[in-house]
Chain A
């Protein structure tokens, strides 16, 4: 561990490489996390199948690439496909548990996650898959050309920014976006005002699935996908939302980029086997910090 820290001191450009990798991948985490924040905030469902939605999106890209179609074209297909899937899941499962207590919705979405995992396993097999973009790797011509940026990472960063901007504009400007925000404030009041909350819930859940699908397409071109890899994506989303809170896209974005960077540094300094442990460690720290914060608030009220 000290060796690795020492390495960062001797060759500071490595830190830049880690920072860039972390930021690029963090932007993708932001998509899934924002979807989770949306569903959590609007309908108070903690969606444990978040990561599985991401992996499903990845399979769109991989499946299309096996037919020689460039995986980038899978982006709109996955968004539309996953939107439809999310709607169906809402109507068949989530609508039945949305009014129930937290435990029921946790169980239902956990069950859904297992069904999706096994379904993907049956349909596509347990192999690790990738969708190859074929984009080149660029070298940054300083520090002796040791820093590389894969074009796909940069493009996916841009796509994440565009998608996030689109979602924000949608929430602010469109009627449906306004209805979603109203419902998240108070379901009963929204109902009284004539908002079809059932439809709002269905739309929110479907939108979440669509965003996850987009994230999955990008993940499949940068990392690898496998039917059982959803769980780590779910955990990341939970960490980010716990840290940033709902309805706060700027917060979600900052937390995601931060998590991406921390994960890269964690992998470098503590070793690759603890890279994902850093994520869970972050969750722990966030929870402790929140607890302290809340205690402070409580004291102020007294």
Chain B
């Protein structure tokens, strides 16, 4: 029995080393600098959790290959200590405590999802340990006065807000008043979608549009034909839907089945729901917000352009036909750490925190500059339209590669 235990220990160690060797480099003259993250490898966030991990790993590899992190004349190689939070917020908080107390990690990358980040924030706050997160977009993370939480992504109230300005603008161009523009909304009852809704409502008030439907979708949504039947009767000019990928898939399927011909439809999570490959031409004309797209003309030092990152990512990891923005923003978070360490010139967590707060950099993922609340205010949300089965950037105009099709093509 003892033999067996020893053998299995050795085997486990060997396997573990094989696992990490992919990103481990000879630490001859560089010391090791450990970032920690509790992120979802199993459970309901596992797919995106692994996308995020791949993003972190790719950026760590890139940083180490290009000379590592230089802090006050010393050279450091980055590495990440991961734990699986099983997609459970309570577990995220426990594992962060463990990373801090037992493993002595002093610098954090975020978990995946707003829910788990919400659980993580009080922990890092308590121990005064900075965390740069890339996957929690909820507005509620940035109105609590957290000092040690920073996010590289755009917050969720920006997801669909830009469609309102767009609709008002189109109405003006067609000689209508914004007050004549009717908006139908269907949002899930969860923190993310309610944030999206809050942003939309603000802009509807600002532009003076008219809300005709304001439905709430259930968490385990699989049928929204009742809502869409109302859309059919009230003929809104703009239809907004947010309910993660299940919302996107259900909406795309039933918009087709019920022949909904609203001229402008915007849905979150089109990419995650893979609606183009599922429903083909019937999805043409949908507007889909995204944090990042490889066609954008963003550029940075570490990875080059967005397109370069896209290429490198696909070459490094098998099985990706498009690079999820979850991976891109995860990589950007690692770049923020490197930049902040080098500017701080120290490993002291307070000094590094202040350096992160003063970040002002351009990356392949867009510009990064943090508000005092910790969210990134330098990068806009991008709106893409499905045109001939492809996602084309149509707003904001500065980065747009195509013109918006209005009204949306209805067969």
> Chain A interface (Cβ within 8 Å of chain B)?
4, 7, 10-11, 14, 17-18, 21, 25, 121-122, 125-128, 130, 132, 137, 139, 146, 148, 150, 153, 223-226, 228-229, 231-232, 264-268, 271-273, 275-276
Q: Looking at A130, A137, A225, A266, which has the most chain B CB atoms within 10 Å of its CB?
A: A130
Inter-chain contact B234/A7, CB cutoff 8 Å: yes
Q: Which residue of B lies closest to A276 (CB)?
A: B218
Q: How far is the CA of A231 from the CA of B220 in the complex (A)?
A: 10
Query: What's the count of A-B pairs with C-beta under 8 Å?
Result: 105
Check A223–B222 contact: CB distance below 8 A: yes
Could you write out 22 A-B pairs with CB less than 8 Å apart?
Answer: A14-B233, A17-B258, A128-B245, A128-B249, A130-B249, A137-B256, A137-B258, A150-B257, A223-B222, A228-B220, A229-B220, A232-B222, A266-B226, A267-B225, A268-B229, A268-B230, A271-B215, A272-B227, A273-B215, A273-B216, A275-B223, A276-B218
Q: Contact at B257–A148, with CB atoms within 8 Å?
A: yes
A21 to B227 Cα, complex, angstroms:
13
The CB with the most chain B CB atoms within 10 A, among A146, A150, A224, is that of A224
Q: CB distance A7 to B217 under 8 Å?
A: no
> Which residues of chain A have C-beta atoms less than 8 A from B186's C-beta?
272
Cα A229 to Cα B249 with chains together (Å): 14
Q: How far is the CB of A51 from chain B (nearest CB, A)?
A: 11
Given contacts A224-B253, A267-B225, 5 further A-B contacts (CB under 8 A): A121-B43, A224-B246, A268-B226, A272-B224, A273-B218
State in angstroms the CA–CA spacing of A128 and B229 once bound together.
23
Q: A74 to chain B: closest CB distance in Å? A: 16
- Give the distance in Å from the alpha carbon of A148 to the alpha carbon of B260 in the complex: 10
Q: Complex Cα distance A268/B231, Å?
A: 11
**In the complex, what residues of A have CB within 8 A of residue B140's CB?**
none
Contacts of A264 in B (CB 8 A): 225-226
| A128 to B219 CA separation, bound complex (whole angstroms) | 13
Q: How far is the CA of A225 from the CA of B245 in the complex (A)?
A: 12
A125 touches B46 (CB 8 A): yes
Q: Are B245 and A267 in contact (CB under 8 A)?
A: no
A125 touching B47 in the complex, CB below 8 Å, given contacts A229-B222, A275-B226:
yes
Q: Is B278 among interface residues, defined by CB-CB distance under 8 A?
A: yes
- Are A14 and B43 closer than 8 Å at their CB atoms? no
| Known contacts A126-B46, A130-B253, A271-B215; A226 and B246 CB within 8 A of each other | yes
> In the complex, which of the residues A21, A126, A272 has the most CB atoms of chain B within 10 Å of its own CB atom?
A272
Contact B222 A7 (CB under 8 A): no
Asked whether, in the complex, the Cβ of A7 is within 8 Å of the Cβ of B233, the reply is yes
CA distance A225 to B221 in the complex (A): 10
State whether the Cβ of B259 lies closer than 8 Å to any Cβ in chain A: yes
Q: Which residues of B contact A (CB under 8 A)?
A: 42-47, 186, 189, 215-218, 220-227, 229-230, 232-234, 245-246, 249-250, 253, 256-259, 272-273, 278-279
**Given the contacts A126-B44, A127-B47, A148 and B249 also touching, CB distance less than 8 Å:** no
B221 neighbours in A (Cβ, 8 Å)? 272
Kindly report which residue of chain B lies nearest to residue A131, judged by CB atoms.
B278
B249 lies within 8 A of A224 (CB)? yes
A148/B258 in contact, CB under 8 A:
yes
CB-CB under 8 A from A122, the residues of chain B are 42
With CB as the reference atom, state the residue of chain B lying closest to A151.
B257
Q: What residues of chain A lie closer than 8 Å to B223, measured between beta carbons?
A: 25, 223, 267, 275
A67 to B46, CA, bound (A): 24
CB distance from B302 to the nearest CB of A (A): 31
CB distance from B362 to the nearest CB of A (A): 33
Query: B44: which of A18, A132, A228 is its contact (CB, 8 Å)?
Result: A228
Min Cβ gap A103→B in Å is 26
B278 → chain A closest CB, angstroms: 6
A226 to B221, CA, bound (A): 10
Q: Which of B46, B230, B232, B253 contacts A146 (CB 8 A)?
A: B232
Minimum CB–CB distance for B212 against chain A, Å? 9
* Contact assessment for A7 and B230 in the assembled complex, using a CB-CB cutoff below 8 Å: yes
Contact between chains at A21 and B233 (CB < 8 Å)? no
List chain B residues, Cβ under 8 A from A231.
Answer: 220
Residue of A nearest to B218 (CB): A273
Choose from B46, B220, B250, B257 the contact partner of A276 (Cβ within 8 Å).
B220
Complex contact A128–B246 (CB within 8 A): yes
Q: How far is the CA of A125 from the CA of B227 in the complex (A)?
A: 28
Residues of chain A within 8 A (CB-CB) of B215 are 271-273
Chain A residues whose CB sits within 8 angstroms of the CB of B44 once the complex forms: 121, 126, 228
Distance of A221 from chain B, by nearest CB (Å): 9
Contact: A273 with B257, CB < 8 Å? Answer: no
A223, B250: Cβ atoms closer than 8 Å: yes
The complex places the Cα of A25 from the Cα of B254 at a distance, in Å, of 13
Is the CB–CB distance between B218 and A14 below 8 Å?
A: no
| CB <8 Å contact, B230 and A4 | yes
B residues within 8 A CB of A229? 220, 222
Contact yes or no, B216 A272, CB < 8 A: yes
B273 and A128 contact, CB distance less than 8 A: yes
- Find chain B residues with CB under 8 A from A126 CB: 43-47
CB distance from A69 to the nearest CB of B (A): 16
Q: Write out the residue numbers on chain B whose beta carbons fall within 8 Å of the beta carbon of A18.
A: 226, 229
Say whether, besides A14-B232, A14-B233, A229-B222, A271 and B216 are in contact (CB < 8 Å): yes
CB distance from A94 to the nearest CB of B (A): 27
Residues in A with CB closer than 8 Å to B45 are 126
User: Are B222 and A224 interface neighbours, CB within 8 A?
Assistant: yes
